[in-house]
Structure 1
Amino acid sequence: MARVKAGEAANPAPPTVQRIRVRFAKRGRLRFLSHRDVARSVERAVRRAGVPVAHSHGFSPHPRLSWVGAAPTGTASEAEYFEVGLTSPVEPSALVSALDAALPDGIDILDAVVAEAPSLADRIDASRWVVELPGVSVADLSAAVEALLALDTLVVDRVMPSGRRQIDVRAAVASASATAPDSRASHTSAGGDCAILTAVVRQTTPAVRPDDVLGALDVVAGLRPPVPAKATRTAQGLLDDRGELADPLGPPRVTTQV
């Protein structure tokens, strides 16, 4: 076996010549997939589609896929992102078509662009969540949201593998509102109450999830949905001073309030 020279990688792989950022959705029953399950599905799709993906060096090379801000298991999303390194240039539209055809229904590729600075992680610091609450009236949800926003801090407990952690939900919630559902949409509470919570939540460590926000509403107002809520992430991006989220695949922008 040839020895590896100093400064050289073992089993060197072809260099990465292009990086593409991809937006995808996690829908329907596939919202119950874990992040690792989604990652495996994408890795298989990359192989099946014949994408010239770059690999790490060494004796156990891995495809150069990087992920950011994965949605919690059980939540749907219209705004999940990953970046893929390639050994030869590919048109983003061709990558979208190839990957979407190789993935199962429910993991849907929506858009792709050639990566530019800053990094994908530096383009995301908040998420917008839309949570359907069947059996909850808009008036009750509005009162609970007002009570939460009136506070400076509200800490809830979360049981994690490492033990119980305290999370300041109020510090993470940039904005929240309660509305009635769109009359064109179908909800599990057909003919009954169904309030919609829309919340913009800043990234924190650990991340504040939709169920943490619902737990906070329970603390401040005793709001407990009679059936499980359905949460969908509709956007991720940099939160500007108007409360809007910049598209991570778009050009960098800085907005100042007039």
Structure 2
Amino acid sequence: MSNQPEQQAPPVQRLRVRYAKRGRLRFTSHRDFSRAFERAVFRARVPMAYSSGFNPHPRISYAGAAPTGSASEAEYLEIALAEVVDPARIHAALAEALPDGLDVLEVVESPGGALADLLQASRWRIELDRPAEEVAEAVRRFLAEDAVPVERMTKKGLREFDCRAAVVALGSEPVSGDRPGAALDLVLRVTTPAVRPDDVLTGLRQVADLAPEGAPLFTRLAQGPLTDEGSVGDPLSR
């Protein structure tokens, strides 16, 4: 008779974590981050709940991870615990255990329900090395279109989809300093298939021939429920 896997006790508490990816750490892939986070909860001695089976693993649920190469101020995950603890204690322990650039911003107790269901939209800042007038004209022409089909290679092959339909709001402003040019302020609705900020840049190039010479800098500023006014709410607010 084969040995049966050990059954783990159910979690007694769930915490939701907001964290940032900054600087060079924006190039961390989701897989690399998940490994770094598992090491961090071990070093921080977080009383994690574990899955049952022959290969138990800490119960961590990731939601809405930003594409590799994008900075973010609004990444989210949920952890399940075997003990009831003060969220502030976990915040401090994780902040000390994670490397600079993967920064814990907030830890709160989960009210229940699925975190992923709250992540309905994202707000992005995209810095471009093009004149502000040129970017503003491209935005105007993009928003005037009813549909902007683009193509992207996915795991299921080359897909065509309408990137215009996912855009809730799009504006631009001039920027100066280390990266003179213009910045896009973009609110994207979560859709299937997912429309990414670089898909919107592809759409801007198609409708207005907007082509940055250098690499754009993508930063996710917010992620959460989509309000009636078209803004992005806080998924951790009660």
Q: Is the 8 A contact 1:187 1:194 kept in 2?
A: no
Residue 106 of structure 1 is matched in structure 2 by 101
Q: Which amino acid aligns with 1:150?
A: A
Q: Which amino acid aligns with 2:218?
A: A
Q: Which amino acid aligns with 1:31?
A: R
Q: Which amino acid aligns with 2:235?
A: P
Distance between the aligned counterparts of 1:167 and 1:139, measured in 2? 28
How many residues are matched? Answer: 238
Q: Which amino acid aligns with 2:151?
A: D
Unaligned runs of 5+ in 2: none
Q: Which amino acid aligns with 1:167?
A: F
* Deviation of the 1:2 alpha carbon: 7.1
Partner-residue secondary structure (3-state), 2:222 = strand
Runs of 4+ in 1 over 3 A off after TM superposition: 1-4
Distance between the aligned counterparts of 2:127 and 2:3, measured in 1? 60
Of residues 178, 192, 197, the one that matches 1:187 is 178
Partner-residue secondary structure (3-state), 1:82 = strand
Residue 234 of structure 2 is matched in structure 1 by 247
Residue 33 of structure 1 is matched in structure 2 by 28
Partner-residue secondary structure (3-state), 1:224 = coil
Q: Which amino acid aligns with 1:187?
A: D
Matched, 1:83 2:74: no
Of residues 45, 61, 64, the one that matches 1:66 is 61
Distance between the aligned counterparts of 1:27 and 1:41, measured in 2? 15
Partner-residue secondary structure (3-state), 2:225 = strand
Residue 218 of structure 1 is matched in structure 2 by 205
Distance between the aligned counterparts of 1:232 and 1:206, measured in 2? 21
Deviations along 1:171-196, one digit per CA (max 9) or x if unpaired, are: 01100000122x6xx433xxxx4100
Identity of counterpart residues, as a percentage? 50
Of residues 125, 128, 147, the one that matches 2:141 is 147
Residue 256 of structure 1 is matched in structure 2 by none
Deviations along 1:149-186, one digit per CA (max 9) or x if unpaired, are: 111111100012321011210001100000122x6xx4
Matched, 1:162 2:149: no
Residue 203 of structure 1 is matched in structure 2 by 190
Aligned CA-pair RMSD: 1.3
Name which of structure 1's ranges 99-108 and 118-127 shifts more when overlaid on structure 2.
118-127
Deviations along 1:1-51, one digit per CA (max 9) or x if unpaired, are: 6765xxxxx301132000000000001011111111111111110001000
Q: Which amino acid aligns with 2:152?
A: R
Partner-residue secondary structure (3-state), 2:203 = helix
Deviations along 1:128-160, one digit per CA (max 9) or x if unpaired, are: 0001112x1111111111111111111100012
Distance between the aligned counterparts of 1:26 and 1:114, measured in 2? 22
* Deviation of the 1:208 alpha carbon: 1.3
Q: Is the 8 A contact 1:148 1:216 kept in 2?
A: yes
